[in-house]
């Protein structure tokens, strides 16, 4: 079960091998090996504390791994710090909203657009004179339905809009790997479709690799091509959605239902 990647000949976009992190005596992520292909959406599920967000942090470089390795297009990126992983194509939207509170909504996106454009260190040119970056940021604001809030400081946005901006920052980076960490958490019912449509659109392009941590099983069923289940930091199931959801190990680990019979596992 530990490595269920397809028999595809192509090098996976993203792969982790035996990825492990220990905090003191606690093993938060334990030897997770998993490969993610282009054009697929993989949902990562598991109960609270299963290590999903920690796994994301190891992949995008926010915390260093104790053991194991992360590969992007077959290249080992385990030793790269987070900014360099981002530049190579790993995009991350955070579970807890992580914005630039005193910058406006538009500036938030524009700073990410600028990072993607690798503008470099320009001391004496005017930030307002880069029309291309401004227009691109505006286009992204349209995509996440925030154009009307354009000039508001990010901290004045309602929670749902902050979540959308969070995703907008990742879009601006135009990554190869999109990592959504509970993108709809705390959003009102009528706001959720904006994000889901957006994820569907990225998926429909067929050339990106999407990882999604999500608790809402209906969302997972609707979007995922594949489900990976983490439990106590260990990968316990990996496969097609219907199969994985039905499997007893998931019923127990994730839904908290005791398996009807031990043999079924």
Question: Could you say whether residue 139 binds another protein (CB under 8 A)?
Answer: no
Question: Could you say whether residue 250 binds another protein (CB under 8 A)?
Answer: no
The smaller minimum CB distance to another protein, of residues 151 and 190, is found at: 151
* Cβ contact 172:5 at 8 Å: no
Which range of residues in 30-38, 41-49, 102-110, 218-226 is near another protein by CB under 8 A?
Answer: 102-110
Question: Could you say whether residue 100 binds another protein (CB under 8 A)?
Answer: yes
Question: Could you say whether residue 106 binds another protein (CB under 8 A)?
Answer: no
Question: Could you say whether residue 42 binds another protein (CB under 8 A)?
Answer: no
Question: Could you say whether residue 131 binds another protein (CB under 8 A)?
Answer: no
The smaller minimum CB distance to another protein, of residues 182 and 238, is found at: 182
Judged by CB under 8 A, the number of residues near another protein is: 36
Longest alpha-carbon distance in the chain: 70
User: What is the Cα–Cα distance from 216 to 159, expressed in whole angstroms?
Assistant: 19
Which range of residues in 42-50, 116-124, 230-238, 257-265 is near another protein by CB under 8 A?
Answer: 116-124
- What x-and-dash track marks residues 77-96 binding another protein by CB under 8 A? ----xxxx-xx----x-x--
- What x-and-dash track marks residues 46-65 binding another protein by CB under 8 A? --------------x-x---
Question: Could you say whether residue 127 binds another protein (CB under 8 A)?
Answer: yes
Judged by CB under 8 A, the residue of 140, 169, 199, 229 near another protein is 169
Gyration radius of the chain over CA positions? 19
Strand order in the sheet with 26-36: 26-36, 14-23, 67-72, 75-76
Strand order in the sheet with 177-181: 90-93, 177-181, 209-213, 41-45, 226-231, 234-239
Question: Could you say whether residue 132 binds another protein (CB under 8 A)?
Answer: no
Cα–Cα distances (Å) from 96 to 15, 91, 100, 223, in that order, read 25, 15, 13, 22
Judged by CB under 8 A, the residue of 52, 110, 163, 203 near another protein is 110
Residues that bind another protein (CB under 8 A): 60, 62, 81-84, 86-87, 92, 94, 98-103, 107, 110-112, 114-116, 119, 121-128, 130, 169, 172-173
């Amino acid at each position: 079960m530990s490595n269920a990647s397809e028999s595809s000949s192509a090098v996976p976009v993203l792969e982790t091998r035996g990825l492990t992190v220990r905090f003191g005596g606690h093993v938060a992520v334990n030897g997770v090996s998993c490969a993610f292909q282009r054009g697929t959406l993989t949902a990562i599920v598991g109960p609270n504390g299963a290590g999903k967000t920690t796994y994301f942090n190891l992949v995008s470089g926010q915390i260093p791994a104790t053991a194991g390795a992360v590969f992007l297009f077959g290249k080992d990126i385990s030793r790269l710090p987070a900014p360099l992983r981002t530049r190579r194509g790993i995009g991350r939207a955070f579970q807890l909203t992580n914005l630039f509170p005193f910058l406006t909504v538009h500036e938030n996106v524009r700073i990410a657009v600028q990072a993607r454009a690798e503008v470099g260190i320009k001391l004496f040119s005017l930030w307002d004179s880069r029309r291309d970056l401004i227009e691109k940021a505006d286009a992204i604001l349209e995509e996440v339905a925030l154009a009307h809030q354009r000039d508001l400081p990010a901290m004045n946005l309602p929670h749902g809009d902050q979540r959308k901006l969070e995703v907008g920052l990742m879009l601006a980076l135009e990554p190869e790997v999109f990592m959504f960490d509970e993108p709809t958490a705390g959003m009102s019912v009528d706001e959720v479709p904006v994000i889901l449509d957006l994820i569907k659109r990225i998926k429909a392009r067929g050339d990106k690799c999407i990882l999604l941590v999500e608790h809402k099983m209906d969302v997972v069923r609707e979007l995922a091509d594949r489900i990976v289940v983490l439990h106590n930091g260990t990968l316990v199931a990996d496969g097609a959605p219907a199969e994985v959801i039905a499997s007893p190990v998931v019923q127990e680990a994730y839904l908290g239902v005791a398996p009807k019979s031990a043999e079924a596992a």
